[in-house]
Amino acid sequence: MYFIFEIAFDSNKQYIAELIRAYATQKEMKVEVLQTTNKIILTFNKDDEQLESFLLSLDEILPASLFLGKGKHFFSDENPSVESIEKTNLPLNIAPCPTCQKEMFDVSSRRYYYPFTSCNHCGTQHPFLTKYPYKRANTTMKFLVPCTDCEDEAKNNSLRKDYPLISCIECGIAIRMLDKENEHLALNKGDFRKLFEVSGRAIASGKTVLMKTAHGYRKFFNPNRNSVSMRTLSFSLTPSEKNLNIKPSRKINTTVESTALSTLLVVSAAGFNEHLMMVEQEFNALLSIERPLLRVATKSDEIQRLYGSSALVKYPDDGMTMLLAREVISAGLSYIAYFECDANEEADFLVDFDMPINPQKDTKLFINQDTKFFVSGERIVYPAQVQSNKNRVSVAHDLACVKVDDKSIIDSLEIFDSVDTQEIYVLESDDFESGHSKEYRFESYKASMMSVLSEHYKVGQKAVGVHFDGTLNFLYYNGKAVINAIPPIPFESDNLWEKISTLRDGSDRLVGNYKKKYPLIWERLDNLGGDMDIFEVTAITLGLEDESFEGISAEALSFLGKGGLQIDTKVKDNRFDNYAFLTSIMSYQLGDVENNFMCYSIYESFGDYIGEIIPQLLEKVDTKVVVLSGATFANQSLYGRIQRTLGQFSPLMNKNFPIGKENVVHGALYL
Ligand SMILES: [Zn+2]
Ligand SMILES: [Zn+2]
């Protein structure tokens, strides 16, 4: 008789199952651990006396994970015989697990305040990798020789068995702190602790700290105390702001203006409760060991003053940030903020280490009730091992899929050596040149759709799709190739007024009225280059601080009412008309419609338009399979509307890969 414990696990990542295996070895517990495509199955002997205590202690060593779902247990006469997914040996880039965290805060351990504390199942690994296969000799840690304690651990501690990156304060990476005059090198536990303590206090008192983390340089600051000039950002507030109806929270001085674009680092659970409006799923995701970025609605006046209606939020995600956060709490704060930047950024203090790292782009998550997906980024998602029978390399957005020892791995392009391949697929817009005789260029929307189809085992079946990544495309997949069934009318942002005034009767009157009411915006729109997408132009039109799709999404989030305005989206042949769309927004603007109501309505109108076209396409090509791809879908009002209009078709989206452009390197394998 067996006791079987099943835990839902919606990913092919293996660190949770591996951790359970290692822990069982340590506890000398007899258990079989299997991982399938959607769960982890633990099979115990029913009469094992250790069973109960093992399950209880498992709870303490397992981290919270984005992928973990509900568990259930039952008795069975048979040992479940299921096919386990293939084992991988890929470096991770997540937060430290509970056991490693405990060590970091245990003054008696060799890793007290050591930011690179990690084990086989957690922490900073990928940033040190220089090439495959993953072993110490192929990382930037290769010149550090493990001390005898570490060597011993690699043999006897089952959580760090043969761990390639084993290190401690004694033998590991030294960190140092510099201000304008002095440099302090941390060499022992006391120094490490002191360094973070000084940093935390400095931030609390209004100073800025530039810190090298596993995810690159970050400039940390106290958003309520930053008297110093903030990072100069590439965007500038347009004078047209003055002409607009902007809520008080969005009236902005120079300092606060850039703060709103920083990432809000919440350091304590109390900070979440006090300052943000979150549902349980959002809270769990932020605290998961994967530590994604998440856009969350703001609650306290304090945070609303700094960020407006929503903020990009993060819980400390690597050893450096985590130790800093601990000292920030000690200094009496529940949150600080940071910008991603480079080593040359101006700051009062610099905390640095010499070991070279290869940071990954951070990953944004989207959550709507029980649905969650990755929007964009590399961390958490990559490296990934994928199934591919083809002798093909794909390249897109600095990522590549390459066969290493007969396994297809997707990772940063620079990690791979040159390889032999029959053919190479390169994204159309990429400037990568292979020199290979069989180099094919592919379009983003095609590969995105194929990535989704492959994740749902639908390659070879007919499907229709919507690819929405700044521009909106309706696609048809006939089982062999992806065809752009309804491409948008091309949009060029130059000579905008000319295009708008000739749109239809009376349009020239609108242009005149607009010029009178919003002369500065009018002028700005009159001088645009031709290369901006419709969302950037819309954001400028509305005078939003963040002149992008993100800015409109953030604004839409603050609208709490129901029922939107009908914004014009289509003209003849069902094609989306960007100019009609802009004209429609401008006329509402002239009618003094609030920005957040307008932004909400923009997405709702897109949702309605998509909800109208898709059923027509489905009927025409006789299929029931609908695919959605593109980062624009990561928007609460659009996603909610799509669920209402297309929910009956259960549209397919990416699960393991981001819905945005980082999925094309995967999809290109199926073109
Ligand atoms: Zn660990
Ligand atoms: Zn050591």
Q: Which tokens hold the place of 263?
A: 């990432």
Give the ligand with the smallest distance to the CA of 110: 2
Q: Which of 265, 330, 340, 317 is nearest to 115 (CA)?
A: 317
Give the ligand with the smallest distance to the CA of 111: 2
Contact 346, 285 (CB under 8 A): no
Q: 162 CB contacts (<8 Å, ≥6 apart)?
A: 120, 154
Cα(192) to ligand 2 centroid in Å equals 15
Report pLDDT for 229.
41
Residue pLDDT, tens place only, 69-82: 999 999 999 888 78
CA distance 137 to 336: 37
Give the ligand with the smallest distance to the CA of 159: 1
Residue pLDDT, tens place only, 489-536: 788 889 999 989 988 888 889 999 999 999 999 999 999 888 888 889
Cα(612) to ligand 1 centroid in Å equals 49
Q: 607 CB contacts (<8 Å, ≥6 apart)?
A: 637, 638, 640, 641, 642, 644, 645
Other CB atoms within 10 A of residue 345 CB: 16
Angle 635-533-400 from CA coordinates, rounded to 5°? 75
Give the ligand with the smallest distance to the CA of 109: 2
**Lateral strand order in the sheet of 482-486:** 482-486, 471-477, 463-469, 626-629
Cα(113) to ligand 1 centroid in Å equals 14
Cα(144) to ligand 2 centroid in Å equals 9
Q: What is the mean pLDDT of each run of 10 residues along the chain (671 residues)?
A: 95 96 96 94 92 93 96 90 86 98 97 98 98 96 97 97 97 93 90 96 96 98 69 37 37 52 94 95 97 95 91 97 98 96 95 96 95 97 93 96 92 90 95 92 97 97 94 94 88 90 87 94 90 90 87 83 75 76 92 91 90 94 96 92 94 97 97 95
Cα(132) to ligand 2 centroid in Å equals 24
Cα(301) to ligand 1 centroid in Å equals 38
Residue with tokens 């000579």: 495
Cα(99) to ligand 1 centroid in Å equals 6
3-state helix, strand, coil in the chain (%, to 5): 35, 20, 40
Residue pLDDT, tens place only, 391-435: 999 999 999 999 988 899 999 999 998 888 999 999 999 999 888
Cα(356) to ligand 1 centroid in Å equals 22
Cα(146) to ligand 2 centroid in Å equals 5
Cα(169) to ligand 2 centroid in Å equals 6
Cα(126) to ligand 2 centroid in Å equals 20
Cα(193) to ligand 1 centroid in Å equals 20
Cα(399) to ligand 1 centroid in Å equals 27
Report pLDDT for 330.
97
CA distance 663 to 427: 12
Residue with tokens 């940033």: 127
Cα(506) to ligand 2 centroid in Å equals 76
Q: 29 CB contacts (<8 Å, ≥6 apart)?
A: 23, 44, 48, 50, 54
Give the ligand with the smallest distance to the CA of 118: 1
Cα(198) to ligand 2 centroid in Å equals 25
Cα(320) to ligand 1 centroid in Å equals 15
Cα(150) to ligand 2 centroid in Å equals 4
